[in-house]
Amino acid sequence: MYDDKPSFKQHVIGEQVGGTLIIKKALVPLHEGTLQIPAIAVCYFNPQSGRYETARTQPHTLEVFPAQEKEKLQVAESAPSGVARQEIKIIGKDILPIHTSVEVLTPVNLFLFNWVTALLILFPIISFSCCYMLKHQKEKSATESALARRRTAFKNFNRKLAVIKKSIAQDDFPFYRDVGKAIRDFIGDILNVSGSALTSAEIEQKLIDARVARETIDKFKNTVEKIETAQFAFKNYSRHEREEMLSLLQNAAKEIDKKMR
């Protein structure tokens, strides 16, 4: 049996593409008589059923008769032994050299450790260490600054009150303005915040957050509200009342300072 060249014809109908594949086999009987050709099976995919199926032919029977003429076999003769052989020629050379000694087995260090490599390895570590130290120093400086403000808050408050007491006899706007500024500066220093824009309600909340005694907070808040009323609502207070305000502020500030320490 010999395989012949198969043929394929393609058919395009609308948007569908199909075709016909013809497979040919050549049978050459070697002796006369009756020959039974078994069924031929071909496995294919059926798109209509969506599965693989097998197509089979029917078995065939052939009657082979003897040839009328004897076939002559073509015998290929070998070349005579006396032919001269050609010498081996060098067609080309390898791109890489061929090593013939054991020296090529010596391991080669492809990653040479030099100062550039060391710098590349140490640079991230040094950079991280410097950034960490700067961050730690900045936090430490901020903490020390806040601690220094807290320690000197009451001292600065007393110094400002001593200056204000000199003008206590004058019931005017500058007196209440200076007292209000001294109060907010004290709260800002003791809590390490900007106290210049704090209202009495905000001061109360920050003292509550700092866990200052409720009685002290009430005294401090009431005095601050009186100062704000005199400053913005132009309410007049007697000298005795002004002295009492300063005394209450000084005592409350002392208690707050003790609590915050």
Domains defined for the chain, CATH in brackets: 2-64 (no CATH), 142-260 (1.20.120)
Please report the pLDDT score of residue 17 as a whole number: 79
**Rounded-to-integer distance, Cα 13 and Cα 18, Å:** 8
31: three-class secondary structure by DSSP: coil
**Rounded-to-integer distance, Cα 41 and Cα 58, Å:** 10
Please report the pLDDT score of residue 124 as a whole number: 86
Number of Cβ within 10 Å of residue 157's Cβ equals 23
Please report the pLDDT score of residue 258 as a whole number: 80
Please report the pLDDT score of residue 81 as a whole number: 56
Q: Which residues contact 154 (CB under 8 A, 6 or more apart)?
A: 186, 190, 253, 254, 257
Residue whose entry in the numeric block shows the structure tokens 């005795």:
240
Distance of CA 147 to CAs 118, 144, 185, Å? 43, 5, 15
65 closest CA partner among 34, 26, 25, 28: 34
Strands (E), the chain: 2-3, 7-13, 16-22, 25-26, 33-37, 41-46, 51-56, 60-64
174: three-class secondary structure by DSSP: helix
Q: Which residues contact 29 (CB under 8 A, 6 or more apart)?
A: 35, 62, 64
The two tokens of residue 141 are 């400086």
Q: Which residues contact 220 (CB under 8 A, 6 or more apart)?
A: 203, 207, 248, 249, 252, 253, 256
- Chain-centroid distance, C-alpha 194: 38
Question: From first to last of its 261 residues, what are the pLDDT tens digits of the chain?
Answer: 777 788 888 888 877 778 888 877 777 787 788 888 888 888 888 888 889 988 888 888 888 888 777 666 555 555 555 556 777 777 777 667 676 776 666 665 555 556 777 777 888 888 888 888 888 777 666 566 667 777 888 888 888 888 888 777 665 777 888 888 888 888 888 877 776 667 777 778 877 887 888 888 888 888 888 888 887 777 777 778 888 888 888 888 888 888 776
Please report the pLDDT score of residue 189 as a whole number: 81
For the entire predicted model, the pTM comes to: 0.42
Please report the pLDDT score of residue 197 as a whole number: 67
Please report the pLDDT score of residue 56 as a whole number: 86
**Rounded-to-integer distance, Cα 112 and Cα 97, Å:** 25
62 closest CA partner among 41, 31, 40: 31
